[in-house]
Chain A
Amino acid sequence: MEQARQEKTTAVKGTDTAREIRGLVKNIYKSAHEAKAGGRKIAYFMVASQYDEIVRAMDVVPLPTENYAGLCAAKRDMDRFLLKAEADGYSQVLCSYARIGLGFDAMRQELGQIPEASPDGGMPAPDMMLGSSAVCDPRFKWYQAARRYLDVPTFGMDVVFPPPQADLNEVRDYYIRYQRDQFQGLVDFLEVQTGKKMDYEKLWECIRLGDKAWQLWYDIDRLRVAIPCPMPSQDHFSIMVPGHYYAGTQVAVDFYQKLYDEVKYKADNKIGVVADEKYRILYGGGLPPWHTLWIFNYFESFGAVFVIENVYRGFDPVEVPSHVQDPIDYLAWRAFLRYTAYHDKARANSGIPTVEKLLEMIEDYNIDGVVFHACRSCRATTIGQVHMKNELGKYSDLPMIQLVSDMVDLRDYSEAQWKAQIGAFIEALQARERD
């Protein structure tokens, strides 16, 4: 019998609309269960792989395994899955999302059913798995490893973009061509799996909905330049759900429209997140500490509000040339333009696209300080963060800190240490304010 400490670990949100996300998340898994029961195809799916609209157009229901891991962490029910994966030979330093996912699959296989009391009803066994190389390597290796527990058709799609030093005019054509071929490969695979042909008109429709949702999301974030800030980062980590898990559907558009209206109202009426917004903080990067999102409220107790972040809304809307008529070509162009949006600026200035983006944010959003979060098991979003901070520091003298834990594995988190670091950071902000 355990005497656990009673402590709030989830965050209080700034907007009302954000509260609807809980229902949307539950629905992701509910839809998957319903699809399975109704004979529709469900697929393990990686967030931010640029392939969302293709999956939607083929009427395949996505099961986002990374989101599920985050959900387990938010509900503090991830230990059994982590431990199972480790017992099965997966290293403790491996991406904790992958460990949770593999542990869950292992338990589901062993038990012959979904593990008892799994958050939101758990994940039903998928008909296929769609990995991608976007963002990091585990995102295609994980599903290959998961075949140990789920012997289903598995596909890996490459996502590529040139380094900032490349001459875009020289490489653009073949990068887009490769990306196009990779998308086509996914379409071919899904056609075989579903036994249906791709309806390209439907794909266009999904793309238009996807673009509309992301345009609205961008508009919402532009509203956050207002002082006081009408929507804090902890909301962002919730409201990213439609953009990433419902892209290509009307649900995402409707949600962001509603959120836009609320945030606009707040911005117009100068309704902030806390009574006294003293410091405007930029969440510079890194996956959020899903296990303790409450930390944002802790910052707020000092008057520090996180007004914008460089995480889930990774791309501003781009303009694909009008001569692009084919939807697959369009997706390839869109991916390329999204990934190279800051390349020119980088070449002219710091050499690093993300630094350029952060500098823009610092200026547009009137930022007073920057906080980074390094996740011990996520090399993709963590390696290079210190470098980013160093380089950013050459162009901005704002106080900056890097908090370290993991996105889901609680064993890497030390609240005492964080509070100490945050205390010092607040003091630095206060000192600047005085000067």
Chain B
Amino acid sequence: MSRMRQIEDIYNRRGEHARKLHEAGEKVIGYFCCFVPDEIITALGMVPYRIQGSQSEPIDEADVLLEPMACPFARSCFNMALKGEYEFLDGFVVPHSCDTVERLYHIWHTNKPSPFNHLINVPHMLGPSSDEFFKNELLYFTKRLEEFAGRKLEVEKLKEAIRLYNRRRALLRELYGLRRESPPRISGVEITKTLVAGMGIPAAEHIDLISGLIEEVKKRPVVPPDGLPRIFLWGNEIDDISFINLVEECGAHVVMDDLCTGSRFFWQDVEETEDPFDGLVRRYLDIHCPRTLKPQAGAREEDLENRFGYIHSFMKEWQAAAAIFYIVRYCDTCELEGPDLKEYLNGLDLPVLMIEDDYSTSTMGQLRTRIQAFLEMII
């Protein structure tokens, strides 16, 4: 079976692999967002599992316990848990990335506790004191996890895990490199499947899949440029192909992204520092997420450049002509960040379509017109 087919299989039956591991006696530690170091979990011999939602399942049970005016992604994940789809989680770890996920931790923990549950506070501000604080939070998390694992964390194992995940990151960057071509050698839909598949399986297996996939893609016949618009995608949680599929169906290539399910979670490596926790702290705190406040750097223009310059670079290197923002509704941090990013990109003559959506496949019809009109506008 081709690697892409294997990936599709895992994507379509997410959770299944982790469930099997759990049944075989492995400890599966579920978590949200980008701020929980997979490396620590892996180094303690457990399997990290990034919790996803389900865009096609309506949210029903969660509404009794969680207000509907909350992030629909979070609600969807919780809904799945209430329906028993996350019974295979031995651990439930939540970083305090945003208000909703923090509050969800308490509600989920009361109603569907795993054997191990932990909330990691993540500084919203950056600076030396934040580094120290986060390091202490990670050490405390490690201590609690050690108790659960029944073993102490070995520094060498942690360093090994860091190298392992860096290897995965490098491969994902290589895979993304194949999107720079015209037309991109791999579609946005395929990339999404590849990333989401990796959320639920051990890193070593994912590395194997990605390496194989890269070889496969390189062997694909070269296609001449088609002139379709190249789109950069910014936003938060996209763990379903339906939106990206819609964009590509409307006649565009999604060539690059800054999503928490995309480049945001893997782009930077962890520096191999003497004390591995220092490397982890630096790398995880430097993640470009709107929930982290970048200290003001000068006047407005300079500040915007400091905050978003990396996006401009991405767009230049991947030759993206326009950006689409896909914001899951009720995400305060993205909703406050979006207009600033839009201003920055418009200032560089890069058109932006800002979409606020409900994390559900049922709204795709309405989005089609918006996306298509935008593509018609930028040609």
Question: Which residues of A come within 8 Å of B, CB atoms?
Answer: 88-91, 93-95, 98, 131, 133, 136-138, 140-142, 144-145, 147-148, 151, 153-158, 160, 162-163, 165-166, 170-171, 174-175, 177-178, 181-182, 185, 351-352, 374, 376-377, 379-380, 382-387, 390-391
Contacts and interface: CB of A to CB of B under 8 A. Distances in A.
A380 B99 contact: yes
A351 B66 CA distance: 17
Please indicate which of the listed interface residues A136, A148, A380, A383 has the most CB atoms of chain B within 10 Å of its own CB: A383
Please indicate which of the listed interface residues B69, B295, B327 has the most CB atoms of chain A within 10 Å of its own CB: B69
Contacts of A177: 129, 132-133
Given A93-B330, A140-B125, A160-B133, 6 more contacts: A144-B296, A145-B337, A174-B132, A374-B67, A377-B69, A383-B67
B78 to A, nearest CB: 11
Interface string B128-149: 1110110010001001000000
Contact of A158 (B124, B290, B338): B124
B132 A382 contact: no
Nearest to B71: A379
A138 B336 contact: yes
B293 A144 contact: yes
Contact of B337 (A141, A153, A178, A387): A141
Given A382-B69, A384-B103, A137 B291 contact: yes
Contact of A387 (B66, B118, B132, B336): B66
Given A171-B140, A177-B132, A94 B336 contact: yes
B303 A147 contact: yes
Interface stretch (B13-21, B168-176, B339-347): B339-347
A156 B294 CA distance: 9
A185 B123 CA distance: 14
B121 A160 contact: yes
Contacts of A384: 66-67, 103, 106-107
Nearest to B94: A163
B299 interface: yes
A95 B340 contact: no
A148 B339 contact: yes
Interface string B325-338: 00101101101111
7 contacts: A89-B338, A137-B99, A144-B296, A145-B337, A158-B125, A185-B125, A383-B69
Contacts of B290: 141
B65 interface: yes
B133 A141 contact: no
A191 to B, nearest CB: 16
Contacts of B327: 91
**Which secondary structure dominates chain B's binding surface?**
helix
A391 B106 CA distance: 11
B66 A386 contact: yes
A255 to B, nearest CB: 32
Counting chain B residues whose Cβ lies within 8 A of the other chain, the interface size class is 35 or more
A374 B103 CA distance: 15
A148 B133 contact: no
A93 B300 CA distance: 26
A154 B297 CA distance: 10
B335 A379 contact: no
A132 to B, nearest CB: 9
Contacts, number: 155
B103 A383 contact: yes
B33 interface: no
A94 B335 contact: yes
A87 to B, nearest CB: 11
B88 to A, nearest CB: 22
B273 interface: no
Contacts of B330: 93, 379
A145 B336 contact: yes
Contacts of A94: 332, 335-336
Interface of B: 64-67, 69-70, 98-100, 103-107, 110, 117-119, 121, 123-125, 127-130, 132-133, 136, 140, 143, 290-291, 293, 295-296, 299-300, 303, 327, 329-330, 332-333, 335-340, 342-343, 354, 356
Contact of B69 (A144, A165, A379): A379
A385 B125 contact: no
B127 to A, nearest CB: 7
B132 to A, nearest CB: 7
A193 B66 CA distance: 43
B67 A391 contact: no
B343 A98 contact: no
Contact of A148 (B125, B291, B343): B343
A156 B128 CA distance: 14
A193 to B, nearest CB: 12
Contacts of A387: 65-66, 103, 106-107, 110
A90 B339 contact: yes
Nearest to A155: B296
A160 B123 contact: yes
B182 to A, nearest CB: 32
Nearest to A374: B67
A162 B136 CA distance: 12
A58 B45 CA distance: 52
B125 A182 contact: yes
Contacts of B107: 384, 387
Nearest to B293: A156
Contacts of B99: 136-137, 379-380, 383
B300 A386 contact: no
Contacts of A174: 132-133, 136
Contact of A178 (B64, B105, B119, B129): B129
Contact of B125 (A98, A157, A163, A382): A157
A15 to B, nearest CB: 33
B102 to A, nearest CB: 9
A134 B191 CA distance: 38
B339 A137 contact: no
Please indicate which of the listed interface residues B70, B104, B125, B354 has the most CB atoms of chain A within 10 Å of its own CB: B125
Contact of B332 (A137, A162, A175, A385): A137
Given A174-B133, A178-B130, A379 B124 contact: no
Contacts of B338: 89
Contact of A133 (B124, B296, B300): B124
B146 to A, nearest CB: 13
B106 A145 contact: no
Please indicate which of the listed interface residues A88, A89, A148, A155 has the most CB atoms of chain B within 10 Å of its own CB: A89
Contact of A379 (B332, B336, B356): B332
Contacts of B128: 181
A377 B69 CA distance: 8
Nearest to A163: B119
A94 B356 CA distance: 12
Contact of B98 (A131, A137, A160, A171): A137
